[in-house]
């Protein structure tokens, strides 16, 4: 066992568990992770990504094919889609929770070591990992109230007896930050009498008690097992809520950050190419803390981007998006932003607290509702509720502006992705954005869950038929998206850590400049964020006269760097030397 690694693990454990034997725990965790004795520490500040990295986000059962019978599982459809439609487009696939579950579309996990038999098995996961990197969820804050561990808890048996966070209804929990509106504590009948269990997200999702080192060791075991199944990217779901402490907000506590640092240390010694991404739907400043000093999360979800970008395109004003981009610190080597504008969840509103006024937020909400969207709420101190997220498919979110519907939905939708693909960070695209899926109101009505509006399940042969029909908007969106991505992957200036500066071109043109790490390529990314044509003076970009400049998207050359060009509604140019 490496003495250096042992000392580093001990140092983290002494912070998390000051009263425990840190040397004993450190040896236990290193053995559980299965780290060889001769392992060397990976070089710090190393980028494990480049401009060719594009992630696909999807559920394991988004693509169904009942015609092939019950033995043909959805993960095989996903594998076929990636191989035959996205083989030169995406580099990684985030398969949302594929374990047996009881609710929340997978995020109430019953068994972390099994693949939901309705989706497939571990062979299917390993097959997908042969062609692309696989990202899996580590649902680290809670598990299903119907899990074996929680059944053991109720019966006073191990493992599970001491896995869950108990509290008294008499405790003052008024400071606790809540993402939902239900009662925080759930009364449970156990063999030792009635107990109250902490439930951050729902009463079917019972929170773990990481004050017990056995819980930490169990999750190290889970991470080790996933690595052995070919998974190299981990999404730490709702990790901000991991550590609870009386009299605090119970979010982003120091012990939570220390646990993430410890897990990264162990994971990267087992596999130096592994990546940890934290999912923390919280205000921007708090989110940035999960980078640590390039010793915590490799990447963090850029949660402010979706609401700010959508707000920009429906208002025709990039003021807030530009202000945010100017304030975004460059990610140091070894860390990266994880950029997305659509996912299985809604458009989070917490990340724009302090950026959008209450009136601006209300206008955004009302606009999205007019396009068929829904609103989910969270509880505040004093019994009040506040909008937590907007639930809508991104394609329908781009149906119009604050003035109503128009005929520019597809242009606005592509513009949103062109901006996202250019911004510093690793781009991740939801499967429904690849094919322009619309609101699934039927699923919302059947499930009574707002988030189901953007969790449509496609009949795979039907989708393939759409993608083969040039008149279908699904095919048009797919073709434009994939062509744009292939172009983007060839540009070194779009490396996730390439230099970025925000341009000042007024409120109707949103622009930024990227420069490759070797300083050989520059790209000026300018988007018309309005529904009217806009003039762009190339002189405002200060292009070097001796270089040859071209729009990469249209292949238009610019021979006079003082010309003015006209941008159509929602057109983007990538002007590069």
Per-residue model confidence as pLDDT tens digits over 50-101:
999 999 999 999 999 999 998 899 999 999 999 999 999 999 999 999 999 9
Q: Measure the CA–CA gap between 80 and 120, rounded to whole angstroms.
A: 14
Residue 85: Cβ within 10 Å count: 17
At 1 the pLDDT is 62
Residue ranges covered by each domain of the chain: 1-41+214-301, 55-139+304-494, 142-207, 499-576
CATH classification number, 499-576, choose in 3.90.550.10, 2.60.40.1180, 3.40.50.1470, 3.40.50.920? 2.60.40.1180
**Average per-residue pLDDT for the chain:** 96
pLDDT digits (tens, 9 = 90+) for 471-499: 999 999 999 999 999 999 999 999 999 99
- State the Cα–Cα distance between residues 105 and 361, nearest whole angstrom: 28
Known binding residues for substrate are 104, 142, 235-237, 344-345, 451
Q: Which residues contact 442 (CB under 8 A, 6 or more apart)?
A: none
Structure-token pair, residue 394: 């991104």
pTM of the predicted model, to two decimals?
Answer: 0.96
142 token code pair? 């809670």
How many beta carbons lie within 10 A of that of residue 416, not counting itself? 27
According to DSSP, residue 194 is labeled E
Predicted local distance difference test score (pLDDT) of residue 133: 98
The annotated binding site is made up of 104, 142, 235-237, 344-345, 451
Per DSSP, helices labelled H in 103-210 are 122-129, 148-155
Say what the pLDDT of residue 281 is. Answer: 82
Parts of the chain with a pLDDT under 70: 1
Closest CA to 98 of 76, 65, 130, 69: 76
Identify the CA nearest to 439 among candidates 454, 449, 460, 457. Answer: 454
Residue with tokens 């707002």: 450
Ordered DSSP codes for 95-131 = E---S-BSSGGGTSBS-TTS--TTT--HHHHHHHHTT
For residue 96, what pLDDT is reported?
Answer: 98
Say which CATH class 142-207 falls into: alpha beta
Q: What is the pLDDT of residue 43?
A: 93
The CATH number, out of the four listed (3.40.720.10, 3.40.190.10, 3.20.20.80, 3.40.1390.20), of the domain defined by the range 55-139+304-494: 3.20.20.80
Q: Percentage of the chain surpassing pLDDT 90?
A: 93
Catalytic positions = 237
């Amino acid at each position: 066992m490496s003495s250096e690694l042992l000392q580093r693990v001990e140092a983290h454990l002494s912070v998390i568990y000051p009263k425990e034997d840190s040397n004993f725990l450190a040896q236990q965790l290193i053995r559980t992770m299965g780290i060889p004795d001769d392992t060397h520490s990976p070089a710090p500040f190393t980028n494990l990504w480049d401009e060719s990295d594009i992630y696909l986000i999807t559920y394991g059962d988004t693509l169904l094919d009942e015609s092939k019978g019950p033995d043909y599982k959805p993960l095989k459809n996903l594998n076929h889609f990636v191989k035959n439609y996205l083989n030169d487009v995406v580099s990684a696939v985030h398969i949302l929770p594929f374990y047996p579950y009881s609710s929340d579309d997978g995020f109430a996990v019953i068994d972390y070591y099994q693949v939901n038999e309705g989706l497939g098995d571990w062979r299917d996961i390993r097959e997908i990992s042969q062609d692309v990197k696989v990202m899996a969820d580590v649902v680290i804050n809670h598990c299903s109230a119907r899990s074996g561990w929680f059944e053991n808890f109720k019966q006073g048996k191990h493992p599970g007896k001491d896995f869950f966070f108990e509290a008294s209804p008499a405790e003052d929990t008024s400071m606790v930050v809540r993402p939902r509106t239900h009662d925080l504590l759930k009364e449970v009948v156990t063999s030792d009498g009635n107990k109250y269990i902490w439930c951050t997200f729902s009463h079917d999702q019972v929170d773990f008690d990481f004050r017990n080192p056995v819980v930490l060791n169990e999750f190290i075991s889970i991470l080790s097992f996933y690595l052995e199944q070919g998974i190299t990217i981990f999404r730490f779901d709702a990790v901000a809520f991991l550590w609870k402490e009386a009299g605090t907000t119970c979010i982003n506590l120091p012990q939570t950050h220390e646990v993430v640092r410890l897990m990264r240390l162990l994971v990267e010694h087992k596999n130096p190419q592994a990546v940890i991404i934290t999912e923390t739907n919280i205000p921007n400043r708090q989110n940035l803390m999960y980078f640590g000093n390039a010793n915590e999360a490799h990447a963090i979800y850029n949660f402010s981007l979706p609401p700010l970008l959508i707000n920009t395109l429906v208002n025709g004003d990039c003021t807030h998006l530009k202000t945010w981009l100017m304030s975004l610190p460059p990610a140091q080597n070894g860390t990266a932003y994880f950029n997305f504008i659509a996912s299985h969840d809604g458009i989070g509103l917490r990340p724009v607290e302090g950026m959008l006024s209450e009136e601006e937020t209300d206008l955004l909400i009302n606009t999205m509702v007019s396009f068929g969207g829904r609103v989910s709420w969270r509880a505040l101190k004093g019994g009040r509720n506040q909008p937590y997220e907007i639930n809508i498919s991104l394609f329908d979110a781009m149906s119009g502006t604050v003035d109503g519907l128009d005929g520019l939905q597809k242009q606005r939708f592509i513009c949103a992705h062109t901006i996202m693909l250019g911004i510093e960070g690793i781009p991740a695209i939801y499967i429904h954005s690849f094919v322009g899926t619309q609101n699934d109101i039927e699923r919302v009505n059947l499930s009574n869950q707002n988030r189901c509006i953007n969790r449509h399940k496609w009949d795979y042969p039907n989708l393939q038929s759409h993608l083969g029909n040039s008149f279908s908007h699904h095919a048009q969106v797919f073709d434009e998206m994939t062509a744009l991505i292939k172009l983007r992957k060839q540009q070194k200036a779009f490396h996730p850590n390439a230099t970025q500066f925000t341009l000042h071109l007024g409120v109707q043109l949103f622009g930024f400049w990227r420069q490759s790490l070797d300083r050989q390529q520059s790209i000026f990314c300018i988007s018309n964020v309005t529904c009217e044509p806009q003039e762009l003076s190339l002189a405002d970009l200060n292009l070097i006269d001796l270089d040859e400049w071209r729009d990469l998207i249209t292949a238009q050359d610019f021979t006079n760097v003082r010309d003015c060009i006209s941008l159509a509604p929602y057109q983007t140019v990538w002007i590069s030397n």
